[in-house]
A and B are shown apart, each in its own frame.
Chain A
Amino acid sequence: MADAVIHAADALTGGDAPDHVVHHTTTGLSNNKLAMWLFLGSECLLFGGLISTYMLYRGRHSENLGPDQIWDIPFTSVSSFILLMSSLTMVLAVTAARRRDDRNTKVWLCVTALLGACFVAGQVYEFTTFYREGLGFTTSLFSSSFYTLTGFHGVHVSVGIVILLSVVGMIARGRTPSDKSELVEIVGLYWHFVDIVWILIFTLVYLIPA
């Protein structure tokens, strides 16, 4: 039975591919990594729904409180750049972990968390500014869908920061599992996902005119 499962998994995962390596699981792959990719696939559906809702309602606003009146594109562009660079520092943390370089792994993870914190701070500032201009959560369908979409993303970034700092703490205390690089890589997958969602939001929400 186990052999049949392995053969079926091999057929699905491309067992003949040169980069195929066998893990000590029925699929020959890391279960943790598999679970993370499955989670990210389900997250696509969450953000797909939120982006769809925003696109439907982005025109439902009062005359003076629409996207074209309140967006601060230069400010949001800087935020986007910061989050993009955090993906670079995250991948540098992953390569450092692969080299078993704990010091640089911790440094790059901390830099990534710091950049993420800057992004969240920028988002809080942006929300505060919009609120002071009169755009509350229930002001219009546009504002509700906008705050829900970007708010959910901000929560994901915040959770990512907590996870990054937790991993730094685990490495510092020597409480990581035997395969430290896989742990950093899985956290990296989550962080990069948060980045690609922002790539979509930045273009679809901010740059495309309503």
Chain B
Amino acid sequence: MTTDTHPEHSEHSAHEVHPHGGHDDQHHWSDLQYIKLALALAVITALEVALSYTKDDFGALFMPLLLIMMAIKFFAVVFYFMHLKFDNRLFGLLFYTGLFLAIGVYCAALLTFHFFAP
């Protein structure tokens, strides 16, 4: 992409032109908040492992519970550690396009091979 030399843009002061490209300092978490989130993710991981050892007790709920916990961990890292929740929408668009295409490929491949057939 070309560099814009438009005079209006060159007049932005340092605090207006954020070096990280599209997010605001007020959304940045403190170190303590990140530590709390990491601990919560560690607890969820422990719950996942515990669940895998007691799968017979949960029956049909086992798989959905495991997938929900996986999704929580996944999106917690994407939203907060990768800062996508507070970042520019275009970054999210690029990432989610790849993600949903990947899920589409996954579903198409499994359906093609009758993976979900009883």
Contact = CB atoms under 8 A, between A and B. Distances in A.
Interface string A35-73: 001101111110111011101100000000000000001
Chain A interface secondary structure, helix, strand, loop or mixed? helix
Contacts of B69: 203
Contacts of B73: 199
Contacts of B17: 21-24
A11 to B, nearest CB: 10
Chain A, interface residues (CB within 8 Å), range: 35 or more
Interface in A171-210: 179, 181-182, 185, 188-189, 192-193, 195-196, 199-200, 202-204, 206-209
B31 A95 contact: yes
A34 interface: yes
Nearest to B69: A203
B110 A55 contact: yes
Contact of A77 (B1, B27, B45, B63): B45
Chain B, interface residues (CB within 8 Å), range: 35 or more
B21 A80 contact: no
Given A13-B88, A27-B1, A87 B45 contact: no
A30 B91 CA distance: 10
Interface string B28-65: 11110011001001100110110111010000000100
Nearest to A207: B52
Nearest to B87: A19
Given A27-B90, A41-B95, A45-B98, 14 more contacts: A12-B90, A13-B90, A17-B89, A19-B22, A23-B22, A27-B1, A34-B94, A49-B105, A56-B115, A84-B38, A88-B38, A95-B28, A188-B81, A208-B63
By Cβ-Cβ distance, the 10 closest A-B pairs, closest first, are A48-B102, A30-B21, A41-B98, A44-B98, A88-B38, A19-B24, A203-B70, A44-B102, A207-B52, A52-B109
12 contacts: A13-B22, A21-B22, A21-B24, A33-B91, A37-B90, A37-B94, A43-B98, A52-B110, A55-B106, A77-B46, A196-B77, A199-B74
